[in-house]
Amino acid sequence: MWAVRSMAAMALAAAGALQAQDYPSRPVRLIVASSSGSGVDIIARVVAQRMTEALGVQMVVDNRAGAGGTIGVQTVAKSPPDGYTLLMAAPSFPINSMLMKPAPYDVLRDFTPVGQATTSQYAIVLHPSLPARSVRELIALARARPGQLNFGSGGPGNSTHLAGELFKSLAQINIVHVPYKGSGPAMVDLLGGHIHMMFPNVVAILAHVNAGKVRALATSGPQRSRALPDLPTVVEAGLPGYIVTSWFGLVAPARTAPESIAKLNAALTTALRERETLEKIAAEGAEPAPGRPDEFGKLLSTEMSTWAKVIKAAGLDS
């Protein structure tokens, strides 16, 4: 019996190796766990277009929004580990795994990192009707009107929510969180003046800032954003310790063949080095950040550690 099982396992392994050698032979589906037009969706479409050329097969973007992004993430986690279903992961990917009880997925157990795609920053943006033109003025206004100002987010525990919670904590102010079913609807209400402010990814807000539809006060990185170089960082603007960066990257289901991961990583790296990709990513306020799968895996581990502290401080871990 043992011999039969051993031969079956060897045959399965051989079949997997052969499949990896032929990979890819059909379209690859790239799941985006948010609505069309979100920051992650914009970058996913840019990357997918160029990876299609590098892989020689079509990479199709498939939006699976809902349940704070977990619908799309679980779709990938439950897919066959054959390299034909991937996730364009965002900061909400590790965050949600720590917020929901029981956890809907395990970032490190259920997925295999392919590679980081981009890095970017968050921004503090206000509806123009709010009389604050700097971070210090916003903090002073919030302290003068405790509980009267609000900020929108893509949902409880969304990265745009936690970016706001970190700001509240460090600035020692009371502003009310208004959750939405995605950052897109929140942005619509910000533009309409129904909420006062947001802490969105620069990718999602850049066009509105440039059009003067919202007022940006500062960006969240350790250095100024290349997309908004005239804006100070939040630290420069007077709030020490507020440094938050965003990222997007590809992951596959756990146990995807290393050969397939290597081909995907090579295609992603090629795509991110092409001039047209660089220009499109820069136009969206992001920067390319190609790297090895293990480097992206380390980033995911670091993100979980960082946001776990913010989640606990905000009382979201109960």
pLDDT of residue 171: 97
Residue 318 placed within a domain: no
What's the rounded Cα separation, in Å, for the pair 173 and 135? Answer: 12
**258 and 155 in a common domain:** no
- The better pLDDT of the pair 17, 202 is held by 202
Q: Around Cβ 119, how many Cβ atoms within 10 Å?
A: 16
Residue 166 placed within a domain: yes
The residue out of 219, 237, 261 marking a domain boundary is 219
Among residues 67, 110, 104, 103, the alpha carbon closest in space to that of 87 is found at 110
* CATH classification at residue 197: 3.40.190.10
What's the rounded Cα separation, in Å, for the pair 318 and 305? Answer: 17
Query: What is the number of domains present in the chain?
Result: 2
Burial category of 177 from C-beta neighbours within 10 Å (exposed 0-12, middle 13-18, buried 19 and up): middle
What's the rounded Cα separation, in Å, for the pair 179 and 166? Answer: 16
**104 and 84 in a common domain:** yes
Per-residue pLDDT averaged across 309-315, rounded? 86
**pTM for the full predicted model:** 0.80
Match 């987010």 to its residue by tokens: 153
pLDDT of residue 11: 52
Residue 232 placed within a domain: no
Residue 20 placed within a domain: yes
pLDDT of residue 65: 87
In sequence order, the 6+-apart residues with CB closer than 8 A to the CB of 11 are none
Check whether 68 has a pLDDT greater than 80: no
- The better pLDDT of the pair 108, 39 is held by 108
Share of the chain above pLDDT 70, in %: 93
User: 201 forms bridges with which residues in the sheet?
Assistant: 122
Find the domain containing 9 and state its range. Answer: 2-120+246-313
pLDDT of residue 251: 98
- The better pLDDT of the pair 92, 233 is held by 233
pLDDT of residue 249: 98
**114 and 7 in a common domain:** yes
The residue out of 219, 236, 257 marking a domain boundary is 219
**99 and 20 in a common domain:** yes
User: 177 forms bridges with which residues in the sheet?
Assistant: 151
What's the rounded Cα separation, in Å, for the pair 235 and 9? Answer: 56
Q: Which residues of 198-215 are buried (b: 16+ CB within 10 A; e: fewer)?
A: bbbbbbbbbebbeeeebb
Q: Are strands 197-198 and 123-126 parallel, antiparallel or unpaired?
A: antiparallel
Strand order in the sheet with 28-32: 59-63, 28-32, 85-89, 245-253, 111-121, 287-288
Q: What's the start-to-end Cα distance of the chain, in Å?
A: 49
Residue 227 placed within a domain: no
Of 15-29, 121-135, 169-183, 242-256, the range with the lowest mean pLDDT is 15-29
Check whether 174 has a pLDDT greater than 70: yes
**Mean pLDDT value across the chain:** 91
Q: Around Cβ 58, how many Cβ atoms within 10 Å?
A: 13
Per-residue pLDDT averaged across 79-101, rounded? 93
* pLDDT band with cut points at 50, 70 and 90 for residue 19: low
Residue 231 placed within a domain: no
**130 and 89 in a common domain:** no
Residue 241 placed within a domain: no
**214 and 161 in a common domain:** yes
Check whether 210 has a pLDDT greater than 90: yes
**103 and 130 in a common domain:** no
* pLDDT band with cut points at 50, 70 and 90 for residue 20: low
**193 and 49 in a common domain:** no
**251 and 112 in a common domain:** yes
Check whether 201 has a pLDDT greater than 70: yes
Check whether 177 has a pLDDT greater than 90: yes
**153 and 101 in a common domain:** no
* CATH classification at residue 87: 3.40.190.150
**116 and 263 in a common domain:** yes
**305 and 195 in a common domain:** no
Residue 283 placed within a domain: yes
Share of the chain above pLDDT 90, in %: 74
**pLDDT tens, position by position, 249-283:** 999 999 999 999 999 999 999 999 999 999 999 98
* pLDDT band with cut points at 50, 70 and 90 for residue 7: low
